[in-house]
Structure formats: structure tokens, C-alpha cells
Amino acid sequence: MGLLLRDVQLGDVDAYVRMRCDPVMMAELGGPLPREGMPTKVRQDVESVAAGTAWVKMIVPDGTGTVAGTVALWSHEEDGATISEIGWMVLPEHQGRGYAKWAVRTVLEQARDADAWGLVHAFPGVTNAASNGICRSVGFTLLGERYVTFADRVLRTNHWMIDPRKL
């Protein structure tokens, strides 16, 4: 596919701003986040990767150094249990080329090979056609709908789950 995944770096603030502070990119995620929070968010993500508590990967077309998007795995408490969650974004000029699907599949294969993360959940908005398409075509199972809180906003989502060992 001519793509690679690399860990997030401190220099990725501009890419975060383009992904998380843009009304179109964030239309299905409750709207844009404030730019001033991005340096802290990048630093926290770099620290989480260093500590091994999250995988935050940037999608980079081979030989370019340009960030096309991101895919991340992290865990959190839900109803007293710890669950693993995956999320992804691809910038507009790189969309529609299979990048997100490739990145999601690749990081799940890495999770399987490292025996990390266990069952993986995804919560795309119910109206997010592209992300629900990715879940379906990568092989997630649809468990139902769920309201989830993302960046302090409550979103109506589809609840998908996959066992990376069955990829």
C-alpha cells in the first residue's frame, strides 16, 4: 500500500490541529476541539506511548514524511471493567484510498502479534458511514448502539468489537 505507521512525536502538533480542530474532520466527533489544547495532548500521547499505556501511530505515505492520519489503541474503565478501544482519522486529501482500513488492520495485526490489548472495541458515530464501513470490512462484529463520552461530549455510537487473534 506504500504506507508505514510510526509512533507519535512531539513535532506532530500541526497534524493534531488539522485533525482535531477542524469542523469537517470533527463533524462526527462532537465538533472541533480548541487549538490551545493540542501541544498538551501531543505531549500526553507521546508520554503514554513511552509508558506503554497507549499505541498512538501516525499514518505516513512511504518516503514522504507527511502525516496522512492516525490510528490509536488505548484502554479505559467502563462499568468497572477495563476495555481496549481503537480510533482513527485520515486527513481529507488522503481519504478514499483505503488508508484508514489498512492502518486499522495493520495495528490490529501488531496487537495480535504482541499478544497485547485483548478484545478491541470501536465506537464510531451512528451516522459515520466511512468509519462504520471500516469496522464492517475489517471484520468487527456490531454489538449494538451506545452513548459514549468523547472529549466531554456525549455521542450516539455503534458499538463494534473484534478479537485480533481471529483476523
Ligand X SMILES: CC(C)(COP(=O)(O)OP(=O)(O)OC[C@H]1O[C@@H](n2cnc3c(N)ncnc32)[C@H](O)[C@@H]1OP(=O)(O)O)[C@@H](O)C(=O)NCCC(=O)NCCS
11, 136 contact by CB (below 8 A): no
Rounded to whole angstroms, the Cα distance separating 97 from 165 reads 26
Instruction: Kindly state the smallest distance separating residue 44's Cβ from ligand X, in Å.
Output: 19
DSSP for residue 23: T
DSSP string, 53-103: SEEEEEEEETTT----EEEEEEEEEETTEEEEEEEEEE-GGGTTSSHHHHH
Instruction: State which residue, 124 or 164, has the beta carbon closest to ligand X.
Output: 124
Instruction: Kindly state the smallest distance separating residue 62's Cβ from ligand X, in Å.
Output: 16
Does 140 sit near ligand X (CB under 6 A)? no
C-alpha cell at 134: 471500516
The candidate with the shortest Cα–Cα distance to 19, out of 96, 71, 55, is 71
* Residues in region 29-88 near ligand X by CB under 6 A: 29, 87-88
3-class SS string, 139-158? CCEEEEEEEEEECCEEEEEE
Binding mask 86-125 for ligand X (x = CB under 6 A): -xxxx----xxxxxxx----------------------x-
Rounded to whole angstroms, the Cα distance separating 102 from 3 reads 9
Which one of residues 130, 148, 151, 161 is an interface residue with ligand X (CB under 6 A)? 130
Instruction: State which residue, 90 or 108, has the beta carbon closest to ligand X.
Output: 90
Instruction: State which residue, 92 or 118, has the beta carbon closest to ligand X.
Output: 92
Choices 9-17, 22-30, 73-81, 105-113; region in contact with ligand X by CB under 6 A:
22-30
> For ligand X, how many residues bind (rule: CB under 6 A)?
22
Q: Coil, helix or strand for 112?
A: helix
Instruction: State which residue, 50 or 129, has the beta carbon closest to ligand X.
Output: 129
Which one of residues 114, 129, 142, 154 is an interface residue with ligand X (CB under 6 A)? 129
Which residues of this chain interact with ligand X, rule CB under 6 A?
A: 25, 28-29, 87-90, 95-101, 124, 128-131, 133-134, 137
